[in-house]
Structure 1
Amino acid sequence: MSATTDRTDAPRVVLGVSGGIAAYKACELLRRLTESGHQVTVVPTAAALHFVGEATWAALSGRPAATETWESVHQVPHVRIGQQADLVVVAPATADLMARAAHGLADDLLTNTLLTARCPVVFAPAMHTEMWEHPATQENVATLRRRGAIVLEPAVGRLTGVDTGKGRLPEPSAIFEACRTVLRRGGLGTDLAGRHVVVSAGGTREPLDPVRFLGNRSSGKQGYALAATAAARGARVTLVSANAELPDPAGVDVVHVSTALQLREAALKAVADADAVVMAAAVADFRPAEYVTGKIKKVDGVEPAPVVLVRNPDVLAELSADRARPGQLVVGFAAETDDVLANGRAKLARKGCDLLVVNEVGERKGFGSDQNEAVVLGADGTETAVPVGPKEALADVVWDLVAARLA
């Protein structure tokens, strides 16, 4: 069976394309959706067809592109397309398209579809920085988010011409992963809409000299799963990433750091207006007391000098003790190798956080794997066991517990 063959069990996705130069990137998103078994109907605006023609959309989707409200009138396309969809994703979403959607206008097939859709709706914005930052656009984005739509944060990078800044369409691969996350959740809604959450991920590195460092095995996959899942649930997400060699999740503001001190500085800045903070990064407890500016040389017959370590700040305990705003929730992670629950309970009391995700780690456990299992301990005495499964599943449990406490 070809990827574009209609199947009754295939998720039905409407890909809306508005008139921006980034419309060509939607072809890659369409390819990923169809090749992964989704049944995709492309609804381009008239302006989008100036960038990518109708024949291209039909060839890539294996289905006629829906372009006119007045075509196949007996099938009432302006109603049926939205009613039958499991997901609507608009990529790129221009400032004009989001303004029309926010104000409930229905002057073409795509805006009609948005009004009739009762499934999750994802907007992937693309525009110049000034347009994204304009108060009118920000108010329209806030309106869409308040109504339950997922408006991804645009990426930072090269725009049209020589301009660079925030407003670039997220990479199609990242938008695709966001769509898969939303579809996996089905109709569970956007319970984090209007919330700002901060997530840390990866492992810090403490330099010894220009070529060596003290580090750990953390890949950052769990933190990235937490960030992507929060974005799919409607949150505005800031991800503080320490040395994770992973693509930035779509719709997430990513701050890249390396050392524990850099992570602390970025986290303290990010949490100022955050509703919840999830510290999933593996932060080094110690760093070398002295940084050697030149590579440490091996000298025959001479033993190397001992490496003297000093303590790093305890970022999780600091965030827990000095909440940046009333009601802010703090979630920590505890990677243990033995006496997992006993050590976890002691750490929960010591750190002062609201929730602590405790998991056993080792060379073949936790670090680097696509799966995880854990117990989430609550300061209120609760224990929530999460069986082995995808890291996204653990992320959803964490956000379930956070959302319930925020509510």
Structure 2
Amino acid sequence: MLSGKRIILGVSGGIAAYKAAFLLRAYQKAGAEVRVTMTPDARRFVGAETFASLSKHSVAIDIFSENQTTSNSWTKHIDWGEWADLFVIAPCTANTLGKIAGGLSDNMLTATVMAARCPLLLCPTMDGEMYRSPAVKRNLETLKRDGIHILEPEEGYLASGLEGKGRLPKIENILAKSREIIKENLKEGLLTNKKVVVTAGPTREFIDPVRFISNPSSGKMGVAMARAAQKLGGEVSLIHGPIQVPIPKGLSSTEITSAHDLFEEVKKQADAEVIIMAAAVADFTPADTSDQKVKKDQADTSLSLQKTHDILSWLGKNKQNGQILIGFAMETENLIEQAKKKRARKKIDWILANSIASKESGFATDKNTIIALSEEYQQTFSGDKEIIAEQILNMIFGDKA
């Protein structure tokens, strides 16, 4: 249940902060990707470098930092809030607990809480008398009414030297609660119990064993769509060419090479409730191929080509009742006009159009600008591919399903 999930780990300034490093590793061993945000006081117990080294990501601490590396570092709480599947604060001190209950956001951790679109799990950790105080009790009740998950602390020996309720729960208990929350969230997923096929990356049409026709597709957008469908509870099958991005853990995948290979695999899985054709499929393939490398001095200077199968048209002609077909269109000019014609011609439900004329959109970039078009609807999405993939699927299967 944690495999492939994206988790923000918040660390506030309590003695149990050192245990958060072990919690981070436990999430990673379960297959999750983890990013860490700390309160400034948490650095008194564990250095940010420890979490940066373990997570392979920079640690978010200050909203406005003197060491900002990019102009938009101060908006990291917004980006992370959209990125995460779950936000866990362990340990969560009485101070941080009170700030969250009161809606305060004076550091990057509390600001990210305010911006988060995912479930929030708090692990209150403090001295027993503090935990029993009227103020903490009021704050806990407020947080529970707000729908925030609370994992109560355990009894035991505390940093004060006293015995009481206030210890950080065992790591396995935090993981179990995290799995429970994610499972509950998936039950409400827009694609729960639906089979979703996503194609990604380029195809390669070989001329001989060492030469081929292809395109610059990295597979980033297709993999982002697969991850977004997985996050919405779909049973996702990824069919991909030679991509340049890792396949999300827990995702079923099949690797193909040519347009013909892709067509054969799509036909096998054409009964899926949702098919997203994000692959950059070659329109042409060599009419004649050689089993041996063609020598330069023996080669013809012209290459005879033939059209590949139009997979999207085949899907449109063989569309099943209730099936949703989503295609992509890449153009250098007249983007919307060409995309509308393509959607109608292919007989599919949605076309996602993006221009390859900009350096910030299209092949091999981390960002994209996509115009989603149906017969009656049009909306533009811009930003990181992973984020807009989620926004697009939420739009298609939510308000506009």
TM-score range, shorter chain: 0.5 to 0.7
Question: Which aligned pairs between 1:271-310 and structure 2 lie closer than 5 A?
Answer: 271-272=270-271, 274-299=272-297, 304-310=300-306
Are the counterparts in 1 of residues 226 and 236 from structure 2 also a CA contact under 8 Å? yes
2:326 to 313, 326, 331: 331
Structure 1 partner of 2:94: none
State the AA in 1 paired with 2:347. Answer: G
Q: Which residue of 2 aligns with 1:369?
A: 365
**Are residue 358 (structure 1) and residue 356 (structure 2) matched?**
no
Q: Is 1:190 paired with 2:189?
A: yes
2:380 maps to: 385
Q: What letter matches 1:293 in structure 2?
A: D
User: 2:314 is matched with which residue?
Assistant: 318
Distance in structure 2 (CA, Å) of the matches to 1:199 and 1:337: 24
Matched letter for residue 278 of structure 1: I
Residues 234-262 of structure 1 show CA distances to partners (whole Å, capped at 9, x for unaligned) of 22111111110211112311111111111
Please state if 1:32 is matched with 2:81: no
SS of the residue corresponding to residue 270 of structure 2 reads helix
1:8-407 mapped onto 2 (5 Å cutoff): 25=29, 31-32=54-55, 36-37=59-60, 40-41=89-90, 75=131, 121-122=181-182, 144=183, 147-149=184-186, 190-272=189-271, 274-299=272-297, 304-323=300-319, 325-362=320-357, 364=359, 365-378=361-374, 380-386=375-381, 388-404=382-398
CA-CA distance at 1:393 after TM superposition: 3.1
For residues 92-135 of structure 1, the C-alpha deviation after alignment (integer angstroms, 9 at most, x for no partner) is xxxxxxxxxxxxxxxx9779768977x9834xxxxxxxxxxxxx
Q: Which residue of 2 aligns with 1:57?
A: none
Structure 1 pair 318/389, CA: closer, same or farther in 2 (3 Å)? same
1:394 maps to amino acid:
I
AA in 1 matched with 2:322 = G
Amino acid at match of 2:397: A
Higher mean C-alpha displacement, 351-360 vs 226-235: 226-235
Distance 1:236 1:295 in 2: 42
How far apart in 2 are the matches of 1:395 and 1:4? Answer: 26
Letter paired with 2:228: T
Distance change (3 Å), C-alpha of 1:363 and 1:307: farther
Cα displacement (A) at 1:333: 0.2
Maintained 8 Å contact 2:202/2:282: yes
Contact 1:227 1:237 in 2 (8 A): yes
C-alpha deviation, 1:25, in angstroms? 2.8
Q: 1:36, CA displacement in angstroms?
A: 3.8
Q: Which deviates the most, 348-357 or 358-367? A: 358-367
Query: Per the alignment, do residues 120 and 344 of structure 1 end up closer, same or farther by CA in structure 2, a change over 3 Å counting?
Result: farther
- Structure 2: gaps (5+ residues): 1-8, 15-19, 35-53, 61-86, 92-121, 133-139, 151-168
TM-score by length of 2: 0.60
Gap change, CA 1:72 and 1:210, over 3 Å in 2:
farther
Contact 2:186 2:231 in 1 (8 A): no
Matched residue count: 289
Contact 1:209 1:291 in 2 (8 A): yes
**Relative to structure 1, is the Cα distance of residues 242 and 75 closer, same or farther in structure 2, using a 3 angstrom cutoff?**
same
Displacement, 1:23?
8.4
Aligned equivalents of 1:28, 1:194: Cα separation in 2: 22
Return closer, same or farther for 1:374/1:363 CA change in 2, 3 Å cut-off.
Answer: closer
The AA in structure 1 aligned to 2:12 is: D
1:389 CA displacement: 1.1
Q: Is the Cα–Cα contact under 8 Å of residues 199 and 239 in structure 2 kept in the other structure?
A: yes
- The residue matched to 1:121 in structure 2 has which SS? helix
Change (3 A) 1:74 1:112: farther
RMSD across aligned positions (CA): 4.5
Report if aligned partners of 1:238, 1:252 keep a CA contact under 8 Å in 2.
yes
Structure 2 CA distance for aligned equivalents of residues 383 and 221 of structure 1: 23
Instruction: Choose 337-346 or 362-371, whichever is displaced more.
Output: 362-371
Cα distance per residue 1:114-171 (max 9 Å; x no partner): 8977x9834xxxxxxxxxxxxxxxxxxxxx5xx4348xxxxxxxxxxxxxxxxxxxxx
The verdict on how the C-alpha distance between 1:148 and 1:245 changes in structure 2, with shifts beyond 3 A counting, is same
Query: Separation in 2 of the partners of 1:28 and 1:120?
Result: 15
Q: Is the 8 A contact 1:15 1:40 kept in 2?
A: no
SS in 2 for 1:396: helix
Contact kept in structure 2, 1:193 and 1:235, CA below 8 Å: yes
